[in-house]
Amino acid sequence: MKLFIRILLVLALTTILGAVQRNSQVAALRVTTPPVIDAVLDEAIWQTAVPATDFATLFPENRITARLKNRVWFAYDDANLYVAAEMEAASADSILRQLGERDNENVTADWFGVWISAYNDKANDIVFRVTAAGVQLDHKSGPNYEDDSWDPVWRSAVQIHDRGWTVEFAIPFSQIRFPARDVQVWGLNMARWVQATREVFTWTFIEKDHSNWSFFEGELVGIQNVDVPLRLSFTPYAATSFEHYPFDEEGKSNWSRSIRGGMDLKYGINESFTLDLTLIPDFGEVQSDNEVLNLSPFEIRYDERRPFFTEGTDLLTNAGRFYSRRVGDRPIRYYDAYDLADVDSVL
């Protein structure tokens, strides 16, 4: 009986490991002429490169083979990583493509995306997705965080046809933080969401009950002799406001105005450190917090959505040692705690 159980365990582990290792690598080819980002895959590079195929199903059933065929190619030059994908569908009408805002996942639309871990650490990824309506979805993710406020600059295009749909990406290397090496090996996975049937297909098989899906990533190889680009960006802003207040005082204007401005600067010192500077930051477009009725004696912890404070916070999320929402302001009634505790009498 014990021998039989051992044999079953060995077979199960072999099946899982085989599924993880299957299709574990795909190569990117260097190009001298960049492809046109129009989702029309007629360039020679897409006929030459070997595609990633044989996707697995993640939802609703966790199985090795995907119901629909998918092919994905990779190429690169000195400036960009290029991605092209062709996805099978029963008909053009079966591809749902509701238009929405950038990073809005709550739309009725199919999407395709790539998960890239430039340090191949099986933990931290940057994600580039595009819906069938051509809307970009991007974020950073890790074991304990997900940053939807990250909005890199990249290009994408979508084409719908009778056989399914195609997408094409151009991702600048300046938007990817990667090590300064002659030969790059990046962690990689790809996924496709079919809205009509609520199915998710992934390039490498993922055990959906596993707590860390990045563990199942394959590898993107073939990228060589790419210089780490200068990571420098400026984000200036200017705003003005007018106010009409009826003072009804003779000789005094009822109109007032104000002008303000500022700037954010981001500079990559090296592959490990980034300098963030802000001058008179404006958080007027940051999503507001939901109203919460707190009847407990404990503080409410809100998610950080201010872009300046989200850079690198994944390094400080363990055990709640750093809470950036306290930066810049002192809590209301901060000193009341001393009065209530009658500190002087205790001392």
pLDDT tens-place string over residues 92-126? 889 998 998 888 888 999 999 999 999 888 888 99
Q: Which residue has the higher pLDDT, 315 or 171?
A: 171
Question: What is the mean predicted confidence (pLDDT) over 74-87?
Answer: 94
Which pLDDT score is estimated for 166?
A: 94
Lowest mean pLDDT among 70-74, 82-86, 221-225, 330-334: 330-334
Question: What is the mean predicted confidence (pLDDT) over 296-305?
Answer: 76
Q: Which residue has the higher pLDDT, 168 or 270?
A: 168
Domains and CATH numbers, the chain: 2-224 (2.60.40.1190), 230-282 (no CATH), 294-347 (no CATH)
Which of the listed ranges 107-111, 294-298, 327-331 does the model predict with the highest average pLDDT? 107-111
Which pLDDT score is estimated for 185?
A: 93
The per-residue pLDDT for range 135-161, each reduced to its tens digit, is: 999 988 877 777 787 888 899 999 999
Question: What is the mean predicted confidence (pLDDT) over 218-230?
Answer: 87
Cα-based distances in Å from 208 to 58, 61, 319 = 6, 9, 26
User: Looking at the predicted structure, is the pLDDT value of residue 21 above 70?
Assistant: no
* Mean of per-residue pLDDT scores for the chain: 81
Which pLDDT score is estimated for 14?
A: 46
User: Looking at the predicted structure, is the pLDDT value of residue 66 above 60?
Assistant: yes
Question: What is the mean predicted confidence (pLDDT) over 72-83?
Answer: 94
